[in-house]
Amino acid sequence: MTRIDNSRTIRAPRGPELSAKSWLTEAPLRMLMNNLDPDVAEKPGELVVYGGIGRAARDWESFDRIVSALRKLGEDETLLVQSGKPVGVFRTHKDAPRVLIANSNLVPRWATWEHFNELDRKGLAMYGQMTAGSWIYIGAQGIVQGTYETFVEMGRQHFGGSLKGKWILTGGLGGMGGAQPLAATMAGASCLAVECRPSSIEFRLRTGYLDTSTTSVDEALLMIERSCEEGKPLSVGLLGNAAQVLPELVKRGVRPDMVTDQTSAHDPINGYLPLGWTLAEWEDRRAVDPKSVAKAAKASMAVHVKAMLDFFHAGIPTVDYGNNIRQMALEEGVENAFDFPGFVPAYIRPLFCRGIGPFRWAALSGDPEDIAKTDAKVKELIPDNPHLHNWLDMARERIHFQGLPARICWVGLGDRHRLGLAFNEMVRTGELKAPIVIGRDHLDSGSVASPNRETEAMRDGSDAVSDWPLLNALLNTASGATWVSLHHGGGVGMGFSQHAGMVICCDGTPEADARIARVLWNDPATGVMRHADAGYEIAIECAREHQLNLPGILG
Amino acid sequence: MTRIDNSRTIRAPRGPELSAKSWLTEAPLRMLMNNLDPDVAEKPGELVVYGGIGRAARDWESFDRIVSALRKLGEDETLLVQSGKPVGVFRTHKDAPRVLIANSNLVPRWATWEHFNELDRKGLAMYGQMTAGSWIYIGAQGIVQGTYETFVEMGRQHFGGSLKGKWILTGGLGGMGGAQPLAATMAGASCLAVECRPSSIEFRLRTGYLDTSTTSVDEALLMIERSCEEGKPLSVGLLGNAAQVLPELVKRGVRPDMVTDQTSAHDPINGYLPLGWTLAEWEDRRAVDPKSVAKAAKASMAVHVKAMLDFFHAGIPTVDYGNNIRQMALEEGVENAFDFPGFVPAYIRPLFCRGIGPFRWAALSGDPEDIAKTDAKVKELIPDNPHLHNWLDMARERIHFQGLPARICWVGLGDRHRLGLAFNEMVRTGELKAPIVIGRDHLDSGSVASPNRETEAMRDGSDAVSDWPLLNALLNTASGATWVSLHHGGGVGMGFSQHAGMVICCDGTPEADARIARVLWNDPATGVMRHADAGYEIAIECAREHQLNLPGILG
Ligand SMILES: NC(=O)c1ccc[n+]([C@@H]2O[C@H](COP(=O)([O-])OP(=O)(O)OC[C@H]3O[C@@H](n4cnc5c(N)ncnc54)[C@H](O)[C@@H]3O)[C@@H](O)[C@H]2O)c1
Ligand SMILES: NC(=O)c1ccc[n+]([C@@H]2O[C@H](COP(=O)([O-])OP(=O)(O)OC[C@H]3O[C@@H](n4cnc5c(N)ncnc54)[C@H](O)[C@@H]3O)[C@@H](O)[C@H]2O)c1
């Protein structure tokens, strides 16, 4: 079992030539490889894509075997992947998924980091995160629009719609968190992001997601202050430990306009640098004494959350950005850790009620022109949405592609399948140079149960009911998605969520039309269904408007 | 929400006439109704089929809506059922399942009885057990062969193959447990079963599963003693509380030949009568103070398990029969509760390694002759298995059908699809009067993760990895099973298992041939795969023999 091999450099093949037997198997092959592209993955040599230890395959032997299985896979065969290991190839049929994936799932009573890590050490497990183990991570862009939508919504709710002269305080510039500074400046705000790892800061500077950096709190505050006065959004990476910097800012009486955090707090062993430790100490002790690392990290998170609570109680909009840091602090005795809300109930749920979420696609050709053409097609098909057009323009201008060119835009039920069918038509006519794959994050309307994040504070109290993501995965399988995945843990860690992913390939065929029409309708429709069942008016209305057949819900 | 309506009597339609649009929707319709047939279900008016509170539908409104949705369902539509409630109808395709079911699934950290019961009270949940909520319970016969196979195997391991003159001590004559006395006498042993509910004893007497009953310990022991001396197997139901009777037997120095238990210990609120309580007290206090009921029940289970441990340490083969009673006792401080093994690692795993498990089918015609013909077909197709032939003969003679006539027989990879194809052919030619459905328990080779039962003490320590049942459900969906289900909790209760079900309808069409060939091959093959991955030689050999393509396992 080889878990680290820094000599390997993986890049997906580009262009219209197949290396597998069909586009339906070439697509997962390229997307798996793309997840490990050095421009995409956080630690490609360790198969780590993002989010702490979110991997694309269990080990290098498994990676090689997945690749070889996909190259040979027939049009009526399905590959099963179990926590990043290819375990079986079975006969199915043309309209069945070509790959079915289950990652990191544990029987609930054993669904703890402790047990997971034991299995992981034995080579029996892999942490799939959300899109890492399901091969549809597209680099930090994936999260930019989500973060952008959230910041814009915060601005709308708290500052009358304009973030001019405002600034956001946050932590973490990793795989997902690195999107924060760019999303902030796109939304018109300045951003101070505390990050403990120089390489994370450098990576964000290099890819244009972060404007500038410093190691001095004073200098950082000065730059932020100036940018706010001038009304010119600026993002500043501050090298430091968030658990040290935030309390200091509280003590100094500094008042950000909004506060959040995206350190990898969900994973106390691998994700959060304990207060007062050097990075080298952290790495070393993780290997020899993971328990004491977790203990120290959680204690530091408690300090961190207390500072966030101070900001919140001083009237500053403060939000948990889905890393489970409140839970960790609660477990450390911070009883009021959940005083400030999660970002989903606060800002995202109204979108989920209409099946709107992180829809995304990638150009298997590798040609940025293909994405430009699809961008134009989106504008053409959804003409009356200036917010969306604005996003597409800014994205085009400011977002550097990582790996295969890709685009994300939050659209919902009724729009997704129209876009999919249009893209498939563009592949058919040759307007695009190769097929497109369409997928989404597991963090979506109908695909996740996560009581501290996506399903926090559901109206009917059904936060923890995970029938919904399971039904979502089964239905996507039955509808003919190209690959479908079921994961546990994701962004909030072991025990805290179950979620499903799906990707469908637009290979230009009429068969793909039929699959796209089903999958890209049914998938967001399960989200509308789930929220309608919980009693949200917006969802019930949306279901009626789209004439969904929901017998036990609409009657 | 109507949870109890004793005025309703449900029986599946019989005969070759459709009440739905096709056999693929008629089949789940009849099997749902059959689960609630008064000859099948434990408490049909409460929609409770077996295993404590294992239900077929969430409430009567949901039942009616499922029925009406199934009657209207088209050949390219799929009904979604969420914890017994029909939540959506979606467009899929002909080879997709007609029904997809997820029951009782909870995000791990919330997967407790406490949280489940809270949701259940609010009408947001349903306990699906295994085959209750997935509509393939066929009455106590379902468990008879499993129990028979287990007893026979115990006899082989401990008594040189003959149970003549031996007797088994057990508890519980409910939905599953009621099969014990019959399985014991079929296997050649006598059986003393302690049961606290007169109606459960009467039901087993009436259906011929139990030979006789008494309220006196002395009389029971006398009858057992005599039957053993005469070498004439006899089953005796003893009215009493197992937590009282077993310690008394220990005290008296009574030595059974084997000891087990099938009270519903997995559910401390609804499944186990506390020591010293009357049934009426139990019912009353369950409604008003469930917590204190659970407390008292678990304390009694500890007493019960201590007596089982006494038998075990006195050298008597003692086994946990899958009701999680050891776990309950452990939680009550009985530290050595897991000294005696579970029945799966002890006796069943070698079968699972070859994909052998509780395969079953039912005749939708309602005609017992259809089952007689399939029995004959099984003998014809599997000529060299005297054990199996013996089972079929005895089953024919001694097992009364409950509801739609059905048969169970433990067969594995390589046999299941051959039987399915033959049955489909018999439907096609008109030899059978109507279609057959083929399914299995969730307690099967590849469909369950349950560290205290089916996956206890796996060779590689992967007991708690639940990727496997999820992959099983996804693959059955992709292969074209008629309905597929994913459950949590089953026979061992909240938090302790995840498991999947599948049923396929043999409607006589060539399309069904293709589906049967895939599903009834792939489904047991996932079990062989799972056990091969865990390192069991028998499974690795079986996989090689059947030329399974298992890239990461066989290399
Ligand atoms: N809200 C969302 O939509 C969403 C989506 C996915 C993930 N997440 C969660 O957000 C978190 C971040 O995800 P990611 O992919 O960026 O993870 P990551 O592990 O790639 O990055 C985390 C970053 O935090 C830094 N860090 C750790 N401890 C620190 C400390 N004490 N002070 C300052 N910096 C510290 C690390 O150096 C690293 O760069 C995770 O918990 C993830 O699960 C949220
Ligand atoms: N081993 C297997 O294959 C298997 C399969 C399914 C279920 N199970 C488990 O076996 C158990 C029994 O299942 P079931 O369907 O028969 O359940 P059930 O609820 O229908 O029957 C349980 C019976 O135990 C009796 N009982 C309860 N407390 C008692 C006590 N203190 N003393 C004597 N009798 C008592 C009840 O009156 C009832 O008749 C469950 O825990 C179930 O999950 C095992």
Spatial separation of the C-alpha atoms in residues A135 and A126, rounded to whole Å: 14
Is A270 near ligand 1, meaning CB less than 6 Å away?
no
Atom of ligand 2 nearest to the CA of B174: 21
Instruction: Among B286, B317, B341, give the residue marking a domain's end.
Output: B341
Give the mean model confidence (pLDDT) for residues B222-227.
98
Reply yes or no on whether B409 is catalytic. yes
Are B212 and B271 found together in one domain? yes
Residue A149 has pLDDT above 90, yes or no: no
Whether B327 and B431 share a structural domain: no
Tell whether A157 is in a known binding site: no
Give the pLDDT confidence of B146-159 residue by residue, as tens digits: 999 899 889 988 99
Considering all CA atoms of chain A, what is the largest pairwise distance in Å, rounded to the nearest integer?
Answer: 65
pLDDT at A140: 78
Is-contact A357 A443, C-beta < 8 A?
yes
Domain stops at, among B324, B341, B358: B341
Structural domain for A178, as ranges:
142-344
B233 and B151: one domain? yes
**pLDDT at residue B175 is higher than 90:** no
The residue-averaged pLDDT of A210-221 equals 98
Domain boundary among B323, B341, B359: B341
> For residue B285, what is the domain's CATH number?
3.40.50.10730
| Residue A186 covered by a domain | yes
Ligand with an atom nearest the CA of residue B150: 2
* Assigned domain for A336 exists: yes
The helix (run of H) or strand (run of E) holding residue A204 is: helix A198-206
A255 lines ligand 1 (CB under 6 A): no
pLDDT of amino acid B176: 87
Q: Rounded mean pLDDT of A60-80?
A: 98
pLDDT attached to residue A139: 86
**pLDDT-based confidence at B491, cuts 50/70/90?**
confident
Q: Which residue out of A2, A78, A87, A107 would a mutagenesis test of the B interface target, given it has the greatest number of B Cβ atoms within 10 Å? A: A107
- Residues B308-325, mean pLDDT to the nearest whole number: 96
* Residue in B496, B384, B482, B404 with CA at minimum distance from that of residue B438: B482
Residue reference for tokens 């597929």: B484
What count of residues does chain B have?
555
What distance in Å separates residue A38's CA from the closest CA in chain B?
25
Q: Kindly state the average pLDDT of the residues B421-429.
A: 98
Structure confidence by residue, pLDDT tens digits, A227-273: 999 999 999 999 999 999 999 999 999 999 999 999 999 999 999 99
B477·A477 Cβ contact <8 A:
yes
Residues for chain A: how many in total? 555
pLDDT in tens, B502-523: 999 999 999 999 999 999 999 9
Asked whether A263 lines ligand 1 (CB < 6 A), one says: yes
Average pLDDT of span A101-126: 98
Interface of A with B in 335-394 (CB under 8 A): none
Three-state secondary-structure class, residue B100 = strand
The full DSSP string for B232-246 is ---EEEEES-HHHHH
Q: Based on the domain organization, do B331 and B354 belong to the same domain? A: no
> pLDDT at position B51, please?
85
Please give the pLDDT value at position B152. 86
Q: Are residues B297 and B432 in the same domain?
A: no
pLDDT tens for A311-370 read 999 999 999 998 999 999 999 999 999 999 999 999 999 999 999 999 999 999 999 999
- pLDDT tens readout for residues B91-108: 999 999 999 999 999 999
- CATH number of the domain at B542, please: 3.40.1770.10
Residues B332 and B353 in one domain: no
The closest of B265, B267, B268, B270 to B287, measured between CA atoms, is B270
Is the confidence at residue A461, as pLDDT, over 90?
Answer: yes
Report chain B residues whose CB lies below 8 A from the CB of A518: 90-93
Structure confidence by residue, pLDDT tens digits, B376-385: 999 999 999 8
Amino acid of residue A380: E
| B390-415: average pLDDT | 93
Mean pLDDT (whole number) for B477-483? 98
pLDDT, average across residues A86-105: 98
Which pLDDT does position B49 carry in this prediction? 96
Same domain, B267 and B182: yes
In short, whether A221's Cβ falls inside 6 Å of ligand 1 is: no
- Taking CB atoms and an 8 Å limit, are B477 and A479 in contact across chains? no
Does residue B386 sit in the same domain as residue B425?
A: yes
Mean pLDDT confidence for B465-478: 98
**What is residue B303's predicted lDDT score, i.e. its pLDDT?**
98
Q: Which ipTM value was assigned to this complex?
A: 0.89
The answer to whether residue A164 scores a pLDDT higher than 90 is yes
Question: Comparing B481 with B346, which gets the higher pLDDT?
Answer: B481
Dihedral sign for Cα atoms in the order B251, B254, B257, B258:
negative
pLDDT mean over B336-363? 95
Evaluate if residue B161 carries a pLDDT over 90: no
Count the neighbouring beta carbons within 10 Å of the beta carbon of residue B535.
13
DSSP A158: H
Cβ atoms of residues B516 and B506 within 8 Å = yes
Residue B100 belongs to a domain = no
Ligand nearest to the CA of residue A443, numbered in listed order: 1
Shortest-distance atom of ligand 1 to CA A177: 16
Number of compact structural domains in chain B = 2
**pLDDT for residue A141 is more than 90:** no
pLDDT at A292: 96
Residue B227 lies in a domain: yes
Q: What is the pLDDT of residue B443?
A: 95
B328 has a pLDDT exceeding 90: yes
DSSP letters of B189-251?
-EEEEEES-HHHHHHHHHTTS--EEES-HHHHHHHHHHHHHHT---EEEEES-HHHHHHHHHH
What is the Rg, in whole angstroms, of the alpha carbon atoms belonging to chain A?
Answer: 22
Residue nearest to atom 4 of ligand 1 (CA): A322
Query: What pLDDT, on a 0 to 100 scale, did the predictor assign at position B400?
Result: 86
Query: How far does Cα B502 stand from its chain's mean position?
Result: 13
Least confident of A202-216, B152-166, B306-320, B330-344: B152-166
Q: Tell me the three state secondary structure of residue B309.
A: helix
Strands A167-171 and A190-195: parallel
Q: Record the tokens describing residue A284, joined without a space.
A: 């070393």
Same domain, B304 and B430: no
Among A176, A202, A283, say which to mutate for ligand 1: greatest number of ligand atoms within 8 Å of CB.
A176
B208 located within any domain = yes
**B337 plus B359 within the same structural domain:** no
d(CA B476, CA A331): 40
Does residue A96 lie in a domain region? no
Among all residues of chain B, which has the CA nearest to that of A500? B470
Contact between B56 and B10 under an 8 Å Cβ cutoff? The reply is no
Q: Provide the pLDDT for residue B121.
A: 97
For B104-132, the DSSP string reads: S-B-GGG-SHHHHHHHHHTT-----TTTT
Question: Is A269 part of any domain?
Answer: yes
**DSSP label of B495:** T
Average pLDDT over residues A384-402: 89
pLDDT for the residue numbered A137: 96
Do B403 and B321 share a structural domain?
no
Q: What is the pLDDT of residues A528-542, one digit of tens each?
A: 999 999 999 999 999
Chain A interface includes B552 (CB < 8 A)? yes
CB A83 within 8 A of CB B467: yes
Q: From the CA of B1, how many Å to the nearest CA of chain A?
A: 11
- Could you tell me the pLDDT band of residue A156, with boundaries at 50, 70 and 90? confident
- A168: which residues sit within 8 A by CB, 6+ positions away? A151, A180, A184, A189, A190, A191, A192, A256, A257, A258, A259, A260
Give the H/E segment covering residue B380.
Answer: helix B368-381
Highest mean pLDDT among A49-58, A241-250, B176-185: A241-250
> Is A321 marked as a binding-site residue?
yes
CB–CB of B472/B526 below 8 Å? Answer: yes
Query: What angle (nearest 5°) sits at the alpha carbon of residue A206, between those of residues A204 and A208?
Result: 70
Burial class (CB in 10 A: 0-12, 13-18, 19+), A140: buried
Spacing, Cα A51 to ligand 1 middle (Å):
6
Mean pLDDT within A397-405: 92
Three-state SS at A501: strand
- Asked whether residue B188 is domain-assigned, the answer is yes
Which pLDDT does position B139 carry in this prediction? 86
- Which ligand ends up closest to the CA of B450? 2
**Average pLDDT over all residues of chain A:** 96
Task: Please state, for a pLDDT cut of 70, what percent of chain A lies above it.
Answer: 100
Kindly report, residue by residue over B97-147, the tens digit of the pLDDT.
Answer: 999 999 999 999 999 999 999 999 999 999 999 999 999 999 878 889 899
* Greatest pairwise CA separation for chain B in angstroms: 65
Q: What is the pLDDT of residues B492-506, one digit of tens each?
A: 899 999 999 999 999
Considering the domain architecture, whether residues B200 and B236 belong to the same structural domain is answered as yes
Residue B16's pLDDT is what?
A: 97
